[in-house]
Chain A
Amino acid sequence: MPQNSAARPIRVGLFVTCLVDLMRPSVGFAAAKLLEDAGCRVDVPSQTCCGQPAFNSGDRANARAIAEKTIAAFERYDYVVAPSGSCAGQIKKHFPELFQGDPNLSQRAAALADKTYELVSFLVDVLGVTKVDAAFAGDVTYHDSCSGLRELGVKSQPRMLLSSIPGVNIVEMKENEVCCGFGGTFAVKYGDISDSIVSKKTENVTESGAHTLLAGDLGCLMNMAGKLHREGKSIEVRHVAEVLAGMTDAPPIGVPAEAAE
């Protein structure tokens, strides 16, 4: 179905995710650019959140209510794409579970799940993108965020697109598939444990010698950036979409505008 449409471009509803919407809009613009460069028509319908915080706190009623809004807002598109494995995973894997047995919504949830993708795997696996037009130089290391990796199989796609950028050198850190300790509300509720987990992560990041840390989920990135900063490390942290889109003019995560040259 993709790309062969002389008739009309693929219409993508960009599910920007609440974290990107609120904390780091530049990731949303990078995602939109990547999708448009690949020939999609990008639309951003009015949206809030995938409902994961409620779902994972055991609040099914609110999780369902929020999911219902998301289904209604996005079902008209050919595809739904999110710059996050976690939020895309929520729609793809958990919306159908939320509406199991619901005569009206189970079908709609399943239909939405079928056409929902994480950004980078959508570019590669669905649109067949093999390289991006971007400039970035330096050693980068990539953290495989859990939901993207284990729920959606995001692993090779970001590495493939990153290596298509001439100046980028990927150096793998140890234990790149191990959780960073974010876990949504876990990071606040069990702060001590979360801290121990993220400390091991920043140790591996630092050991890799990379100058830039990338990942596909803003929650994990904020966690790792926050820890690196607290440790006084100068490693720059960015969402992978920013680098792939060549949109790295915004300062890295947690760095003030003045400090970034």
Chain B
Amino acid sequence: MTAQPTSPQFKDNARHALDDAQLQKALGNVRQNFIDRRAAVAAKLPEFEGLRDSARDIKNHTLKNLDLYLERYEENVTKAGGQVHWARTAEEARQAVLDICARVGAKTVTKGKSMISEEIALNDAIEAAGMKAVETDLGEYIIQLRHEAPSHIIAPAVHLNASQIESDFRKHHTHLDPARDLSQPTQLLTEARMILREKFLAADVGITGANFLIAETGTSIIVTNEGNGDLTQTLPKVHIVIASIEKVVPTLEDASQILRVLARSATGQEMSVYTTFSTGPRRPTDVDGPEEYHVVLLDNGRSAMLGTEFEEMLRCIRCGACMNHCPVYHAVGGHAYGWVYPGPMGAVLTPTLIGVDKGGHLPNASTFCGRCESVCPVRIPLPKLMRHWREREFERHLSPATVRWGIGFWAFFAKRPALYRLATGVAMRGLAWLGKSTGRFKSLPLAAGWTDHRDFPAPQGATFQQQWKARRKGRSA
């Protein structure tokens, strides 16, 4: 479902999203819920800004020594009885998972929430191989029923209203009493829990993502609010962790530092409800746990970002704060971005993963308001990185001809002050004269994007520089 990006049609996607009343209603909740909660919880912690600095520093240090920490991580996974599978591409990662599933003769695979799974379109691959993939995170479960992609990296079904979910449940859970009451969100949750319980028990393989991989211990950590991750990884015979290489941090101490900013930035909680550690398969003394423990480590273009102007993006801890605070995301939602990662982080990451020729709209569709950067727990300068994409597009002549021409035309004058004063002096007087009676224009050539929706104020008349000169002359005379 995620294999074919629709990012090149971003403008059309956006138009549809803006016309979708249900979606607009759901997006209103994003605006209201996440922002105030994060602000409140951040304000309660005096050292929050300092913690953001140390989260950034830990990530920077790790990225500078990524090979070292990845090797150490593999060593320690092996020591604990697990196995690391290196995957350069999405294809290799899918194959690694399918091979394990085939070897153990898996029929049903349960899954905790994982964006890497979306990135490599794992569910499609599992189903194509004749197995059943069951999402166990409530949001993921809902969108799986709807055959949709997640619209948010931590709240995959945030584009839906409760009434839509209710009708999906009624459509799919046909064995349940049609007259049952599902008017409360908790009732939806209970029903999903009940359905999923059965599937947990039937699963042969459990797949989870990872928020952190700990080099010193070979541990992987996931945070959830539903506890589904625990059941996904402890009940089946085989546990597979899929994670990208930049998830590694040196020590448990480092992870616990970053955890202090993660949930606060994401949902405005001090901590997520469940923070689950897993290290290797079940030991003889353990009461439960899988018999096999695998980690599929995905690169998929990330190592190529090291040492480039996009390296800072690898600090991302996928908290979602940038999209929660983004006016463009609030307007169009996550699906409009057309691939796995939406919002500001997606605007930077998507072009690296699917190519800037396909993902080029995303870093352009930003006002550079900077609110994302102001809340990013690891202080990624998202607008600056989006601008770097615009530069690459400009160098490669991928920007639209009208834009290049317009900027070139305007820059020609902006570099020549005398000519600029002359040309603008004439032009502004002309425009002012045209707009004299109305004070504004209802339409302007080449600016339909503006005037389709709002008036364009008319200039006052002579330019400031002309008037200033005249006045100063008058003064000194």
Contact = CB atoms under 8 A, between A and B. Distances in A.
Given A22-B459, A55-B387, A59-B407, A151 B370 contact: yes
Contact of A58 (B11, B371, B387, B447): B387
Interface in B375-393: 384, 387, 389-393
A188 interface: yes
A44 interface: yes
Nearest to B336: A193
Contacts of B394: 57-60
B368 A146 contact: yes
Given A58-B392, A150-B374, A259-B439, A191 B450 contact: yes
Contacts of A59: 391, 394, 404, 407-408, 411
Contacts, number: 226
A190 B450 CA distance: 9
A111 interface: no
B103 interface: no
B454 A226 contact: yes
A182 B427 CA distance: 23
A47 interface: yes
B390 A24 contact: no
A95 to B, nearest CB: 14
B403 A189 contact: yes
Contacts of A28: 464, 468
Interface in B419-463: 420-421, 424, 427-428, 435-440, 447-450, 452-463
Contacts of A226: 440, 450, 454-457
Contact of A57 (B332, B392, B399, B428): B399
Interface size class of A (residues with CB under 8 A): 35 or more
Interface string A95-122: 0010000000000000000000000000
A193 B14 contact: yes
Contacts of A23: 428, 457, 459-460
Nearest to B370: A150
A21 B457 contact: no
Nearest to B469: A44
Interface in A140-190: 146-147, 150-151, 177-179, 181-190
A58 B399 contact: yes
A257 B435 CA distance: 10
B371 A195 contact: no
A227 B453 contact: yes
Interface stretch (A3-11, A61-69, A74-82): A61-69
Contacts of B435: 256
B44 interface: no
Interface of B is mostly: helix
A177 B393 CA distance: 31
A150 B387 CA distance: 17
Contact of B457 (A44, A188, A222): A222
Contacts of A151: 370
A254 interface: yes
Contacts of A248: none
Nearest to A227: B454
B279 to A, nearest CB: 41
B366 A21 contact: no
A256 B437 contact: yes
Contacts of B448: 188, 191
Contacts of B51: none
B317 to A, nearest CB: 21
A25 interface: yes
A198 interface: yes
Contact of A179 (B367, B384, B464): B367
Nearest to B391: A58
B456 A22 contact: no
A65 B411 contact: yes
A117 B375 CA distance: 24
Interface in A202-235: 222-223, 225-227, 229-230
B415 interface: yes
Contacts of A250: 460
A113 B355 CA distance: 35
B340 to A, nearest CB: 21
Interface string B160-174: 000000000000000
Contacts of B465: 16, 21, 44, 46-47
B407 A54 contact: yes
Nearest to B461: A25
Given A22-B463, A26-B460, A188 B411 contact: no
A205 B185 CA distance: 33
A81 to B, nearest CB: 14
A24 B393 contact: no
Interface string B84-125: 000000000000000000000000000000000000000000
Contact of B403 (A48, A57, A196): A57
A69 B420 CA distance: 13
A25 B467 CA distance: 8
Contacts of A188: 447-450
B258 to A, nearest CB: 24
B18 interface: yes
A259 to B, nearest CB: 7
Contact of B420 (A48, A56, A194, A230): A48
A89 to B, nearest CB: 9
A183 B366 contact: yes
B369 interface: yes
Contacts of B48: none
A47 B420 CA distance: 9
A144 to B, nearest CB: 10
A93 B413 CA distance: 24
9 contacts: A25-B467, A29-B467, A53-B407, A59-B391, A65-B415, A150-B369, A186-B367, A191-B448, A229-B455
Across the A-B interface, give the 10 residue pairs with the lowest CB-CB distance, nearest first.
A183-B367, A191-B449, A58-B390, A256-B439, A58-B394, A226-B454, A179-B369, A254-B457, A25-B464, A195-B453
Interface of B: 11, 14-15, 18, 327-328, 330-332, 364-371, 373-374, 384, 387, 389-395, 399, 403-404, 406-408, 410-411, 413-418, 420-421, 424, 427-428, 435-440, 447-450, 452-465, 467-468
Interface of A: 16, 18, 20-26, 28-29, 32, 44, 46-49, 51, 53-60, 62, 65-66, 69, 73, 97, 146-147, 150-151, 177-179, 181-198, 200, 222-223, 225-227, 229-230, 250-251, 253-259
Given A146-B369, A183-B369, A194-B450, 20 more contacts: A22-B424, A24-B460, A46-B417, A47-B465, A48-B417, A56-B390, A60-B394, A150-B369, A151-B370, A179-B369, A179-B371, A191-B453, A192-B18, A197-B367, A226-B455, A226-B456, A229-B440, A229-B455, A255-B440, A256-B436
